[in-house]
Structure 1
């Protein structure tokens, strides 16, 4: 295979990851809003509350944020403060880019590892209202951060090799 077809595969994988992230996050947003509206309706109209709506809202929001992070990475929507790096000499821009990528990768790997350890120890614990294993909501961190790391790596593989800063 030539390099251009490999780049095409990487780009298609990055786009697929971004779409998966967006679709799942969109679905979870609908679940979250629907759950909150249901809770409000029952509390204020029916004068009776459903105990599990608060947990569903919280857990769907956590999953939404964790899985949506990969889509935000693909679109370049994560917050960054880049007023200083573009003023650096070219060689220092390259060094700062490499340092930034390394720090991001290390932090994501730590979150995946520590999140997985946390999940492993909570399968026997149950949530208060839903009665599901606590590991299910906690899995959002290692799964979401794995998707974010994969998106970051796919973008790096697809990045032009001119060594430039993509701010």
Structure 2
């Protein structure tokens, strides 16, 4: 898959998650104030959708380079040293994504399934909720590997 197709996939996924969350919260408000008996599952679903939305949104932002960055040091560096700094910071983010999101996320998902943890209202396995961690780790790793390839190519070509 190309970067553009993955971006499009994440955009649609995030839009669907957000739309579902809006409908869910709207239904929760209707059942609470109009029907006078709130659905037991709406708050829990909204919480799970927010987890997926925020973690996948962070992966998407990472791919679009929309994340927060401190640009104090690069202002004082020449182009070559900026690229070297970019390689270092991108490598750190890649290692973090692999260690925390992929390895840690997979371990947590495995433990959640092994223990049989389920959510109280939806009776959904907690591992399903937190599988977003390794999924997002794959996306962030993919984006950062592409960034490293581009930076190395630019450094080699003198761009």
- TM-score band, normalised by the shorter chain? 0.7 to 0.9
- Structure 1, unaligned stretches of length 5 or more? 1-11
User: CA offsets per residue over residues 8-54 of structure 1, 9 Å max, x none?
Assistant: xxxx6110111111100110000111111110111111110111111
Shift of 1:142: 1.0
Q: Which has the higher contact order (CA 8 A, sep 6+)?
A: 1
Structure 1 position 100 matched with structure 2 position 89 = yes
| Compared CA separation, residues 82 and 152, structure 1 to 2 (3 A) | same
Shift of 1:158: 4.2
The answer as to whether partners of 1:14 and 1:155 remain within 8 angstroms in 2 is no
| Compared CA separation, residues 95 and 155, structure 1 to 2 (3 A) | closer
The answer as to whether partners of 1:13 and 1:154 remain within 8 angstroms in 2 is no
Q: In structure 1, how many angstroms separate the alpha carbons of the residues matched to 2:7 and 2:135? A: 14
User: CA offsets per residue over residues 108-130 of structure 1, 9 Å max, x none?
Assistant: 00121011000001111111110
Provide the alpha-carbon RMSD of the alignment.
1.9
The answer as to whether partners of 2:109 and 2:131 remain within 8 angstroms in 1 is yes
- Structure 2, unaligned stretches of length 5 or more? none
Matches within 5 A, 1:52-71: 52-71=41-60
The number of residue pairs the alignment matches comes to 153
Match among 3, 10, 22 for residue 11 of structure 2:
22
TM-score, length-normalised on structure 2? 0.87
36-45 or 146-155, which deviates more = 146-155
